[in-house]
A and B are shown apart, each in its own frame.
Chain A
Amino acid sequence: MEHIEGHAVINTSAPPSEPARLVEDFTPELIDVGEHGLCPGCGEPIALRSAVEAIADLDVIQRTIAVFGIGCYTAFSNNLDVEVMQALHGRAPSLATGAKRAKPDTVVFTVQGDGDMVNEGLQEVLHAAARGERITCIMLNNGVFGETGGHMTATTVLGQRTKNTLDGRDAEAHGYPILLSNLVAQLEGAAYVARGAVNNAGNVARTKKMLLRAFESQLAGEGFSFVEILTMCPTGWFIDTQEAPGYLSEHLGSVHGVGVLKDRGEERVGS
Chain B
Amino acid sequence: MTVTSQPRASRRLLEGSEAIAEAMIAAGCRFFAGYPMTPFTEVLEHMAAKLPAVGGVCMNAESELEAVGMAWGAAATGTYAATGSTGQGLSLMQESLAEISLARVPLVVLNMARAQGDYYQATRGGGHGDYRTLVFAPMDVAEAVELSQLAFHLAAQWRNPVLLFGDYYLAHTTQSVAVDPIDFGSVPAPDWALDGSTGGTGRARLVSPLGGGKRRDDVGYDLSEHYRDCAAATEEMLNRVEPLVDTAFVDDADVVVVAFGTPGRYIRAAVRSLRDEGAKVGWVRPISLVPFPTAAVAEAARGARAVAVYENNQGQMIDDVRLAVLGACPVHFIGGLSLDHSGFGIAPDLDVAVLRERIAAVLDGAKER
Q: Is chain B a partner of chain A in the same complex?
A: yes
Decide if A255 is an interface residue (CB 8 Å cutoff): no
Residues of A within 8 A of B103 (CB): 86
Q: Is the beta-carbon distance between A98 and B194 smaller than 8 angstroms?
A: no
The 8 A CB mask of A183-209 against B (1 = contact, 0 = none) is 000000000000000000000000000
Decide if A80 is an interface residue (CB 8 Å cutoff): yes
A-B interface contact total, Cβ < 8 Å: 174
For A130, give the chain B residue with the smallest CB separation: B62
Decide if B151 is an interface residue (CB 8 Å cutoff): no
A18 to B30 CA separation, bound complex (whole angstroms): 62
- Cross-chain pairs A/B with CB under 8 angstroms, 8 sampled: A37-B220, A61-B199, A63-B197, A81-B201, A88-B69, A88-B209, A95-B70, A95-B76
Decide if A174 is an interface residue (CB 8 Å cutoff): no
Decide if A142 is an interface residue (CB 8 Å cutoff): no
A96 to B95 CA separation, bound complex (whole angstroms): 18
Residues of B within 8 A of A123 (CB): 62-63, 66
Q: Give, as a whole number of angstroms, the nearest-CB distance from B175 to chain A.
A: 32
A74 to B256 CA separation, bound complex (whole angstroms): 53
Q: Is the beta-carbon distance between A62 and B199 smaller than 8 angstroms?
A: yes
Q: Give, as a whole number of angstroms, the nearest-CB distance from B229 to chain A.
A: 15
Decide if B210 is an interface residue (CB 8 Å cutoff): yes
**A33 with B69, Cβ < 8 A, contacts A98-B81, A101-B74, A106-B196 known:** no
Name the one of A33, A85, A91 contacting B96, with C-beta atoms under 8 angstroms: A91
Q: Given A62-B200, A94-B66, A124-B66, 16 more contacts at CB 8 Å?
A: A37-B219, A65-B194, A65-B195, A77-B210, A78-B215, A82-B204, A84-B207, A85-B194, A88-B69, A91-B65, A93-B69, A98-B59, A98-B71, A98-B73, A100-B73, A102-B73
Q: Give, as a whole number of angstroms, the nearest-CB distance from B31 to chain A.
A: 5
Q: Is the beta-carbon distance between A84 and B208 smaller than 8 angstroms?
A: yes
Q: Give, as a whole number of angstroms, the nearest-CB distance from B167 to chain A.
A: 27
A8 to B42 CA separation, bound complex (whole angstroms): 69
**A81 with B69, Cβ < 8 A, contacts A98-B81, A106-B195, A123-B62 known:** no
Name the one of A65, A91, A100 contacting B69, with C-beta atoms under 8 angstroms: A91
Residues of A within 8 A of B96 (CB): 88, 91
Q: Give, as a whole number of angstroms, the nearest-CB distance from B58 to chain A.
A: 10
Decide if B216 is an interface residue (CB 8 Å cutoff): yes
Decide if B75 is an interface residue (CB 8 Å cutoff): yes
Within B71-85, the residues touching A (CB, 8 Å) are 71-77, 79, 81
Name the one of B65, B69, B196, B210 contacting A64, with C-beta atoms under 8 angstroms: B196
Decide if A160 is an interface residue (CB 8 Å cutoff): no
Name the one of B74, B199, B204, B216 contacting A99, with C-beta atoms under 8 angstroms: B74
A100 to B205 CA separation, bound complex (whole angstroms): 17
Q: Is the beta-carbon distance between B208 and A30 smaller than 8 angstroms?
A: no
A239 to B326 CA separation, bound complex (whole angstroms): 63
Q: Is the beta-carbon distance between A83 and B69 smaller than 8 angstroms?
A: no
Q: Is the beta-carbon distance between B196 and A83 smaller than 8 angstroms?
A: yes
